[in-house]
Amino acid sequence: MILKTTQKVSPRRAAAAGFFGGAIEFYDFFIYGTASAVVLNVLFFSGLSPAIGTLAAFATLAVGYVVRPLGAIVFGHIGDRYGRRTALMGTLMTMGAATVLIGVLPTTAILGDWAAVLLVLLRLIQGLGLGGEMGNAATLTMESSPRKRRGFYSSFTYAGGFVGMVLATGAFALVSMLPEEAFMSWGWRMPFLASGVLLVITYLVRRHIPEPPVAERARAEGNTERFPVLQVARQHKKDVLLATIIAAAPNTVYYIVSVFGITYAVTTYGVAQTTMLILVSISSAVLAISVPLWGGLSDRVDRRKLIVIGLIAEAMFTFVYFMLMGTADPVMILLGMLLVLVFGHGIVNGIQAALFTELFPVEVRSTAVSLGQQLGGALSGFGPLIASAIIVANPDGWYLVALYAGGLCLLAAVAAIFTVTKWGHQGLQDDEVAEPSTPLTTRLEGNDMATTR
Protein backbone atom coordinates (compact mmCIF):
# COMPACT_ATOMS: atom_id res chain seq x y z
CA MET A 1 0.00 0.00 0.00
CA ILE A 2 1.28 3.50 -0.81
CA LEU A 3 0.41 6.49 1.35
CA LYS A 4 1.10 9.91 -0.12
CA THR A 5 1.01 13.27 1.57
CA THR A 6 1.15 16.56 -0.29
CA GLN A 7 2.13 18.55 2.76
CA LYS A 8 5.36 20.50 2.41
CA VAL A 9 8.10 20.56 4.97
CA SER A 10 9.14 24.10 5.83
CA PRO A 11 11.19 24.79 8.96
CA ARG A 12 10.55 28.52 8.56
CA ARG A 13 6.78 28.09 8.57
CA ALA A 14 6.99 25.73 11.53
CA ALA A 15 9.21 28.19 13.39
CA ALA A 16 6.75 31.00 12.58
CA ALA A 17 3.86 28.92 13.95
CA GLY A 18 5.80 28.26 17.12
CA PHE A 19 6.84 31.89 17.43
CA PHE A 20 3.38 33.43 17.01
CA GLY A 21 1.72 30.71 19.04
CA GLY A 22 4.22 31.16 21.85
CA ALA A 23 3.67 34.91 21.74
CA ILE A 24 -0.11 34.74 22.14
CA GLU A 25 -0.03 31.93 24.69
CA PHE A 26 2.49 33.68 26.92
CA TYR A 27 0.84 37.05 26.43
CA ASP A 28 -2.35 35.51 27.77
CA PHE A 29 -0.63 33.76 30.63
CA PHE A 30 1.58 36.63 31.73
CA ILE A 31 -0.91 39.44 31.65
CA TYR A 32 -2.39 37.57 34.58
CA GLY A 33 1.03 37.42 36.21
CA THR A 34 1.53 41.14 35.74
CA ALA A 35 -2.00 41.91 36.90
CA SER A 36 -1.50 39.80 40.02
CA ALA A 37 1.37 42.09 41.00
CA VAL A 38 -0.41 45.39 40.42
CA VAL A 39 -4.22 45.10 40.56
CA LEU A 40 -5.81 41.68 41.27
CA ASN A 41 -4.80 41.73 44.92
CA VAL A 42 -6.96 44.84 45.38
CA LEU A 43 -9.98 43.95 43.21
CA PHE A 44 -10.38 40.26 44.07
CA PHE A 45 -8.80 39.96 47.53
CA SER A 46 -9.84 43.31 48.98
CA GLY A 47 -10.62 41.99 52.46
CA LEU A 48 -6.98 41.19 53.17
CA SER A 49 -4.00 43.32 54.19
CA PRO A 50 -1.87 44.60 51.28
CA ALA A 51 0.96 42.12 51.95
CA ILE A 52 -1.35 39.11 52.41
CA GLY A 53 -3.50 40.24 49.46
CA THR A 54 -0.44 40.21 47.24
CA LEU A 55 0.44 36.77 48.61
CA ALA A 56 -3.08 35.54 47.75
CA ALA A 57 -2.86 36.99 44.23
CA PHE A 58 0.45 35.21 43.68
CA ALA A 59 -1.17 32.02 45.01
CA THR A 60 -3.78 32.15 42.24
CA LEU A 61 -0.88 32.77 39.86
CA ALA A 62 0.67 29.53 41.09
CA VAL A 63 -2.62 27.62 40.58
CA GLY A 64 -2.25 28.07 36.84
CA TYR A 65 1.13 26.40 37.00
CA VAL A 66 -0.08 23.45 39.05
CA VAL A 67 -2.56 22.42 36.36
CA ARG A 68 -0.03 22.77 33.52
CA PRO A 69 1.19 19.12 33.82
CA LEU A 70 -2.40 17.98 33.29
CA GLY A 71 -2.52 20.12 30.16
CA ALA A 72 0.74 18.50 29.09
CA ILE A 73 -0.81 15.04 29.42
CA VAL A 74 -4.05 15.96 27.65
CA PHE A 75 -2.61 17.92 24.74
CA GLY A 76 0.55 15.80 24.59
CA HIS A 77 -1.74 12.79 24.09
CA ILE A 78 -3.54 14.62 21.28
CA GLY A 79 -0.23 15.61 19.70
CA ASP A 80 1.17 12.07 19.72
CA ARG A 81 -2.05 10.32 18.73
CA TYR A 82 -3.78 12.79 16.41
CA GLY A 83 -1.19 15.32 15.32
CA ARG A 84 0.95 18.16 16.63
CA ARG A 85 -1.05 20.75 14.69
CA THR A 86 -4.39 19.51 16.08
CA ALA A 87 -3.05 19.82 19.62
CA LEU A 88 -1.71 23.31 18.97
CA MET A 89 -5.05 24.57 17.69
CA GLY A 90 -6.67 23.20 20.85
CA THR A 91 -4.21 24.93 23.18
CA LEU A 92 -4.70 28.21 21.34
CA MET A 93 -8.47 28.18 21.72
CA THR A 94 -8.41 27.03 25.33
CA MET A 95 -6.04 29.77 26.43
CA GLY A 96 -7.69 32.52 24.38
CA ALA A 97 -11.21 31.92 25.67
CA ALA A 98 -10.13 31.88 29.32
CA THR A 99 -8.17 35.11 28.96
CA VAL A 100 -10.99 37.06 27.34
CA LEU A 101 -13.39 35.87 30.06
CA ILE A 102 -11.05 37.18 32.77
CA GLY A 103 -11.30 40.54 31.02
CA VAL A 104 -15.07 40.67 31.60
CA LEU A 105 -15.12 39.03 35.05
CA PRO A 106 -16.96 41.04 37.75
CA THR A 107 -14.85 41.88 40.81
CA THR A 108 -15.41 41.11 44.50
CA ALA A 109 -17.33 44.36 44.90
CA ILE A 110 -20.05 42.91 42.62
CA LEU A 111 -19.92 39.13 43.07
CA GLY A 112 -18.39 38.84 46.50
CA ASP A 113 -16.32 35.71 47.11
CA TRP A 114 -17.56 34.12 43.87
CA ALA A 115 -15.39 36.58 41.95
CA ALA A 116 -12.24 35.07 43.40
CA VAL A 117 -13.57 31.54 42.79
CA LEU A 118 -14.25 32.26 39.09
CA LEU A 119 -10.88 33.96 38.76
CA VAL A 120 -9.13 30.83 40.02
CA LEU A 121 -11.23 28.64 37.68
CA LEU A 122 -10.29 30.70 34.63
CA ARG A 123 -6.68 30.65 35.74
CA LEU A 124 -6.87 26.84 35.83
CA ILE A 125 -8.18 26.80 32.25
CA GLN A 126 -5.33 29.09 31.20
CA GLY A 127 -2.82 26.69 32.71
CA LEU A 128 -4.46 23.73 30.98
CA GLY A 129 -4.02 25.39 27.59
CA LEU A 130 -0.46 26.49 28.15
CA GLY A 131 0.46 23.05 29.47
CA GLY A 132 0.30 21.53 26.00
CA GLU A 133 1.51 24.52 23.98
CA MET A 134 5.28 24.65 24.27
CA GLY A 135 5.91 20.90 24.06
CA ASN A 136 3.86 20.47 20.90
CA ALA A 137 5.24 23.65 19.34
CA ALA A 138 8.85 22.70 20.06
CA THR A 139 8.23 19.16 18.78
CA LEU A 140 6.58 20.32 15.56
CA THR A 141 9.41 22.77 14.86
CA MET A 142 12.21 20.31 15.62
CA GLU A 143 10.64 17.60 13.46
CA SER A 144 10.31 20.08 10.59
CA SER A 145 13.92 21.30 10.77
CA PRO A 146 17.21 20.13 9.25
CA ARG A 147 19.38 18.22 11.68
CA LYS A 148 22.10 20.90 11.70
CA ARG A 149 19.66 23.77 12.33
CA ARG A 150 17.39 22.32 14.99
CA GLY A 151 18.70 24.55 17.74
CA PHE A 152 18.11 27.70 15.72
CA TYR A 153 14.63 26.95 14.42
CA SER A 154 13.34 25.34 17.64
CA SER A 155 14.42 28.35 19.69
CA PHE A 156 11.81 30.55 18.00
CA THR A 157 9.10 28.90 20.09
CA TYR A 158 10.72 30.26 23.23
CA ALA A 159 11.56 33.58 21.59
CA GLY A 160 7.88 34.00 20.77
CA GLY A 161 7.02 33.37 24.39
CA PHE A 162 9.25 36.23 25.50
CA VAL A 163 7.72 38.52 22.89
CA GLY A 164 4.37 37.65 24.43
CA MET A 165 5.75 38.65 27.81
CA VAL A 166 6.92 41.95 26.33
CA LEU A 167 3.44 42.56 24.96
CA ALA A 168 1.93 41.70 28.34
CA THR A 169 4.13 43.99 30.41
CA GLY A 170 3.99 46.68 27.72
CA ALA A 171 0.21 46.57 27.66
CA PHE A 172 0.05 47.06 31.40
CA ALA A 173 2.67 49.79 31.24
CA LEU A 174 0.36 51.67 28.86
CA VAL A 175 -2.88 51.23 30.79
CA SER A 176 -1.15 52.00 34.09
CA MET A 177 -0.60 55.53 32.76
CA LEU A 178 -4.35 56.08 33.00
CA PRO A 179 -5.72 57.95 36.02
CA GLU A 180 -5.90 55.54 38.95
CA GLU A 181 -9.70 55.48 39.02
CA ALA A 182 -9.94 54.64 35.31
CA PHE A 183 -7.20 52.01 35.58
CA MET A 184 -8.83 50.25 38.53
CA SER A 185 -12.34 50.35 37.06
CA TRP A 186 -11.80 49.35 33.41
CA GLY A 187 -8.23 50.03 32.26
CA TRP A 188 -6.79 46.80 33.69
CA ARG A 189 -9.30 44.81 31.62
CA MET A 190 -8.08 46.08 28.25
CA PRO A 191 -4.97 43.85 27.98
CA PHE A 192 -7.15 40.79 28.63
CA LEU A 193 -9.73 41.79 26.03
CA ALA A 194 -7.01 42.57 23.48
CA SER A 195 -6.17 38.88 23.57
CA GLY A 196 -9.21 38.26 21.36
CA VAL A 197 -7.58 40.18 18.50
CA LEU A 198 -4.28 38.36 18.96
CA LEU A 199 -6.14 35.06 19.03
CA VAL A 200 -7.60 35.65 15.57
CA ILE A 201 -4.21 36.66 14.14
CA THR A 202 -2.46 33.61 15.56
CA TYR A 203 -5.20 31.30 14.34
CA LEU A 204 -4.73 32.57 10.80
CA VAL A 205 -0.97 32.00 11.01
CA ARG A 206 -1.23 28.51 12.47
CA ARG A 207 -4.14 26.89 10.63
CA HIS A 208 -2.22 26.02 7.44
CA ILE A 209 0.92 24.64 9.08
CA PRO A 210 1.45 21.03 7.92
CA GLU A 211 2.05 18.09 10.21
CA PRO A 212 5.73 17.04 10.39
CA PRO A 213 6.19 14.10 7.97
CA VAL A 214 8.11 12.04 10.55
CA ALA A 215 5.13 12.20 12.94
CA GLU A 216 2.65 11.60 10.14
CA ARG A 217 4.63 8.59 9.01
CA ALA A 218 4.77 7.18 12.54
CA ARG A 219 0.98 7.30 12.82
CA ALA A 220 0.48 5.87 9.32
CA GLU A 221 2.70 2.92 10.20
CA GLY A 222 0.86 2.38 13.48
CA ASN A 223 3.96 3.39 15.43
CA THR A 224 1.99 5.17 18.14
CA GLU A 225 1.06 4.51 21.75
CA ARG A 226 -2.54 4.18 22.88
CA PHE A 227 -1.66 6.00 26.09
CA PRO A 228 1.63 7.83 25.51
CA VAL A 229 1.88 9.01 29.12
CA LEU A 230 2.05 5.39 30.35
CA GLN A 231 4.89 4.63 27.96
CA VAL A 232 6.69 7.76 29.14
CA ALA A 233 6.26 6.69 32.77
CA ARG A 234 7.60 3.22 32.03
CA GLN A 235 10.57 3.97 29.80
CA HIS A 236 11.46 7.67 29.92
CA LYS A 237 10.89 8.83 33.50
CA LYS A 238 14.58 9.58 34.10
CA ASP A 239 14.80 11.94 31.12
CA VAL A 240 11.48 13.58 32.08
CA LEU A 241 12.89 14.18 35.57
CA LEU A 242 16.05 15.75 34.13
CA ALA A 243 13.99 17.95 31.81
CA THR A 244 11.78 18.98 34.76
CA ILE A 245 14.75 20.14 36.80
CA ILE A 246 16.32 21.96 33.84
CA ALA A 247 13.01 23.72 33.06
CA ALA A 248 12.14 24.65 36.65
CA ALA A 249 15.25 26.62 37.56
CA PRO A 250 15.45 29.26 34.80
CA ASN A 251 11.69 29.74 34.80
CA THR A 252 11.82 30.41 38.54
CA VAL A 253 14.48 33.07 37.98
CA TYR A 254 12.46 34.74 35.23
CA TYR A 255 9.27 34.91 37.29
CA ILE A 256 11.15 36.29 40.28
CA VAL A 257 12.73 38.96 38.08
CA SER A 258 9.69 39.88 36.02
CA VAL A 259 6.80 39.35 38.46
CA PHE A 260 8.04 39.40 42.06
CA GLY A 261 10.72 41.95 41.21
CA ILE A 262 8.11 44.54 40.23
CA THR A 263 6.38 44.45 43.60
CA TYR A 264 9.63 44.25 45.55
CA ALA A 265 11.24 47.21 43.80
CA VAL A 266 8.10 49.34 44.26
CA THR A 267 7.44 48.53 47.91
CA THR A 268 11.04 48.28 49.16
CA TYR A 269 13.00 50.80 47.10
CA GLY A 270 10.29 53.19 45.95
CA VAL A 271 10.82 52.61 42.23
CA ALA A 272 7.78 53.65 40.20
CA GLN A 273 5.58 50.79 39.11
CA THR A 274 5.44 52.05 35.51
CA THR A 275 9.22 52.27 35.46
CA MET A 276 9.58 48.63 36.48
CA LEU A 277 7.08 47.51 33.86
CA ILE A 278 9.03 49.39 31.17
CA LEU A 279 12.33 47.89 32.34
CA VAL A 280 10.90 44.38 32.24
CA SER A 281 9.57 45.06 28.72
CA ILE A 282 12.95 46.31 27.48
CA SER A 283 14.95 43.46 28.98
CA SER A 284 12.48 40.83 27.76
CA ALA A 285 12.63 42.29 24.24
CA VAL A 286 16.43 42.01 24.21
CA LEU A 287 16.07 38.51 25.66
CA ALA A 288 13.72 37.50 22.81
CA ILE A 289 16.28 38.67 20.25
CA SER A 290 19.10 36.78 21.97
CA VAL A 291 17.32 33.42 22.18
CA PRO A 292 17.63 32.43 18.47
CA LEU A 293 21.28 33.55 18.52
CA TRP A 294 22.04 31.21 21.40
CA GLY A 295 19.97 28.48 19.74
CA GLY A 296 21.99 28.86 16.56
CA LEU A 297 25.22 28.66 18.55
CA SER A 298 24.03 25.38 20.07
CA ASP A 299 24.03 23.90 16.56
CA ARG A 300 27.79 24.45 16.50
CA VAL A 301 28.71 23.93 20.17
CA ASP A 302 27.77 20.98 22.36
CA ARG A 303 24.29 21.78 23.71
CA ARG A 304 24.94 20.28 27.13
CA LYS A 305 28.10 22.29 27.74
CA LEU A 306 26.48 25.51 26.61
CA ILE A 307 23.36 25.08 28.73
CA VAL A 308 25.47 24.30 31.81
CA ILE A 309 27.37 27.56 31.25
CA GLY A 310 24.06 29.41 30.92
CA LEU A 311 22.64 27.98 34.13
CA ILE A 312 25.74 28.85 36.16
CA ALA A 313 25.71 32.38 34.72
CA GLU A 314 22.03 32.75 35.57
CA ALA A 315 22.69 31.74 39.18
CA MET A 316 25.48 34.31 39.56
CA PHE A 317 23.68 37.15 37.83
CA THR A 318 20.56 36.72 39.99
CA PHE A 319 22.58 38.03 42.95
CA VAL A 320 23.91 40.88 40.81
CA TYR A 321 20.36 41.82 39.81
CA PHE A 322 19.15 42.19 43.40
CA MET A 323 22.26 44.11 44.43
CA LEU A 324 21.75 46.58 41.58
CA MET A 325 18.05 46.88 42.44
CA GLY A 326 19.14 48.24 45.81
CA THR A 327 20.47 51.36 44.08
CA ALA A 328 16.88 52.26 43.00
CA ASP A 329 18.50 53.57 39.80
CA PRO A 330 16.49 52.45 36.73
CA VAL A 331 19.64 52.25 34.59
CA MET A 332 21.38 49.97 37.07
CA ILE A 333 18.26 47.84 37.53
CA LEU A 334 18.02 47.44 33.76
CA LEU A 335 21.68 46.40 33.64
CA GLY A 336 20.99 43.73 36.26
CA MET A 337 17.99 42.47 34.30
CA LEU A 338 19.96 42.27 31.06
CA LEU A 339 22.77 40.32 32.69
CA VAL A 340 20.56 37.68 34.27
CA LEU A 341 18.11 37.39 31.37
CA VAL A 342 20.24 37.75 28.23
CA PHE A 343 23.51 36.17 29.37
CA GLY A 344 21.97 33.51 31.57
CA HIS A 345 18.32 32.90 30.86
CA GLY A 346 18.72 33.52 27.12
CA ILE A 347 21.38 30.84 26.76
CA VAL A 348 19.26 28.26 28.56
CA ASN A 349 16.07 29.02 26.63
CA GLY A 350 17.86 29.12 23.30
CA ILE A 351 18.84 25.49 23.83
CA GLN A 352 15.99 23.92 25.80
CA ALA A 353 13.62 23.20 22.90
CA ALA A 354 16.16 21.26 20.84
CA LEU A 355 17.71 19.55 23.86
CA PHE A 356 14.37 18.33 25.22
CA THR A 357 12.90 17.15 21.91
CA GLU A 358 16.04 15.15 21.08
CA LEU A 359 15.73 13.22 24.34
CA PHE A 360 12.58 11.32 23.34
CA PRO A 361 11.33 9.06 20.49
CA VAL A 362 8.80 10.37 17.99
CA GLU A 363 5.83 8.27 19.18
CA VAL A 364 5.78 9.87 22.66
CA ARG A 365 7.73 13.07 22.01
CA SER A 366 4.89 15.58 22.46
CA THR A 367 3.81 14.02 25.75
CA ALA A 368 7.30 13.57 27.18
CA VAL A 369 8.56 17.04 26.22
CA SER A 370 5.36 18.69 27.45
CA LEU A 371 5.51 16.82 30.76
CA GLY A 372 9.12 17.73 31.42
CA GLN A 373 8.53 21.38 30.58
CA GLN A 374 5.30 21.71 32.52
CA LEU A 375 6.31 19.81 35.64
CA GLY A 376 9.18 22.26 35.73
CA GLY A 377 6.73 25.07 35.03
CA ALA A 378 4.50 23.95 37.90
CA LEU A 379 7.45 24.10 40.30
CA SER A 380 8.63 27.47 39.00
CA GLY A 381 5.13 28.92 39.32
CA PHE A 382 5.65 28.97 43.06
CA GLY A 383 8.69 31.24 42.63
CA PRO A 384 6.93 34.59 43.24
CA LEU A 385 4.88 33.02 46.06
CA ILE A 386 7.99 31.65 47.82
CA ALA A 387 9.89 34.89 47.23
CA SER A 388 6.98 36.89 48.72
CA ALA A 389 6.81 34.56 51.72
CA ILE A 390 10.56 35.00 52.30
CA ILE A 391 10.23 38.78 52.26
CA VAL A 392 7.14 38.76 54.51
CA ALA A 393 9.20 36.80 57.07
CA ASN A 394 12.40 38.78 56.45
CA PRO A 395 11.85 42.17 54.73
CA ASP A 396 15.59 42.57 54.03
CA GLY A 397 16.06 38.99 52.85
CA TRP A 398 16.62 39.58 49.13
CA TYR A 399 19.79 37.50 49.37
CA LEU A 400 17.68 34.53 50.50
CA VAL A 401 15.49 34.93 47.41
CA ALA A 402 18.62 35.04 45.22
CA LEU A 403 20.04 32.00 47.00
CA TYR A 404 16.81 30.09 46.42
CA ALA A 405 16.73 30.87 42.68
CA GLY A 406 20.47 30.52 42.14
CA GLY A 407 20.58 27.21 43.98
CA LEU A 408 17.93 25.82 41.65
CA CYS A 409 20.03 26.88 38.66
CA LEU A 410 23.08 25.05 39.98
CA LEU A 411 20.97 21.93 40.54
CA ALA A 412 19.73 22.23 36.94
CA ALA A 413 23.32 22.49 35.71
CA VAL A 414 24.06 19.14 37.35
CA ALA A 415 20.93 17.66 35.73
CA ALA A 416 22.01 18.95 32.31
CA ILE A 417 25.32 17.10 32.62
CA PHE A 418 23.41 13.82 32.86
CA THR A 419 21.28 14.34 29.75
CA VAL A 420 22.17 12.15 26.78
CA THR A 421 20.56 12.59 23.36
CA LYS A 422 19.28 9.20 22.22
CA TRP A 423 16.46 9.90 19.81
CA GLY A 424 17.46 12.98 17.82
CA HIS A 425 18.38 10.74 14.91
CA GLN A 426 14.72 9.75 14.60
CA GLY A 427 13.86 13.25 13.42
CA LEU A 428 13.89 14.26 9.78
CA GLN A 429 17.00 13.71 7.74
CA ASP A 430 18.69 16.73 6.19
CA ASP A 431 17.72 15.74 2.68
CA GLU A 432 14.06 15.48 3.69
CA VAL A 433 13.89 19.17 4.52
CA ALA A 434 16.43 20.59 2.09
CA GLU A 435 13.72 21.26 -0.49
CA PRO A 436 10.54 22.45 1.27
CA SER A 437 8.55 22.31 -1.95
CA THR A 438 9.14 18.56 -2.40
CA PRO A 439 6.22 16.40 -1.20
CA LEU A 440 7.12 13.48 1.05
CA THR A 441 6.08 10.03 -0.17
CA THR A 442 5.87 7.28 2.40
CA ARG A 443 5.71 3.64 1.31
CA LEU A 444 4.24 1.07 3.62
CA GLU A 445 4.96 -2.57 3.06
CA GLY A 446 2.24 -5.19 3.56
CA ASN A 447 -1.48 -5.35 2.96
CA ASP A 448 -2.59 -3.42 5.99
CA MET A 449 -1.23 -0.74 8.24
CA ALA A 450 0.16 -1.97 11.50
CA THR A 451 -2.22 -1.66 14.38
CA THR A 452 -1.61 0.83 17.12
CA ARG A 453 0.38 -0.58 19.97
**pLDDT tens digits, 337-370:** 999 999 999 999 999 999 999 999 999 999 999 9
3-class secondary structure for the chain?
CEEECCCCCCHHHHHHHHHHHHHHHHHHHHHHHHHHHHCHHHHCCCCCCHHHHHHHHHHHHHHHHHCHHHHHHHHHHHHHHHCHHHHHHHHHHHHHHHHHHHHCCCCHHHHCHHHHHHHHHHHHHHHHHHHHHHHHHHHHHHHCCCHHHHHHHHHHHHHHHHHHHHHHHHHHHHHCCCCHHHHHHCHHHHHHHHHHHHHHHHHHHHCCCCCCHHHHHHHHCCCCCCCHHHHHHHHCHHHHHHHHHHHHHHHHHHHHHHHHHHHHHHHHHCCCHHHHHHHHHHHHHHHHHHHHHHHHHHCCCCHHHHHHHHHHHHHHHHHHHHHHHCCCCHHHHHHHHHHHHHHHHHHHHHHHHHHHHCCCCHHHHHHHHHHHHHHHHHHHCCHHHHHHHHHHHCCCCHHHHHHHHHHHHHHHHHHHHCCCCCCHHHCCCHHHHCCCCCCCEEECCCCCCCCCC
pLDDT surpasses 60 at 125: yes
pLDDT in tens, 87-109: 999 998 998 889 899 999 998 88
Which of 136-150, 305-319, 427-441 is the most confident on average? 305-319
Residue, of 424 and 31, whose pLDDT is higher? 31
pLDDT band at 445 (very low <50, low <70, confident <90, very high): very low
pLDDT of residue 48: 58
pTM value is 0.83
Q: Tell me: the pLDDT tens digits for 190-218?
A: 999 998 888 888 888 788 888 888 888 88
pLDDT(7) > 60: no
**Where is average pLDDT lowest: 18-22, 103-107, 301-305?**
18-22
Longest dimension (CA), the chain: 74
Of 425 and 395, which is predicted with more confidence?
395
Q: pLDDT tens digit string along 130-187? A: 889 889 999 999 998 998 899 999 999 999 989 988 888 778 878 888 898 898 889 9
Query: What pLDDT does residue 55 have?
Result: 65
Q: Which of 21-25, 235-239, 298-302, 434-438 is the least confident region?
A: 434-438
- Most confident range (mean pLDDT) of 42-56, 60-74, 118-132 is 118-132
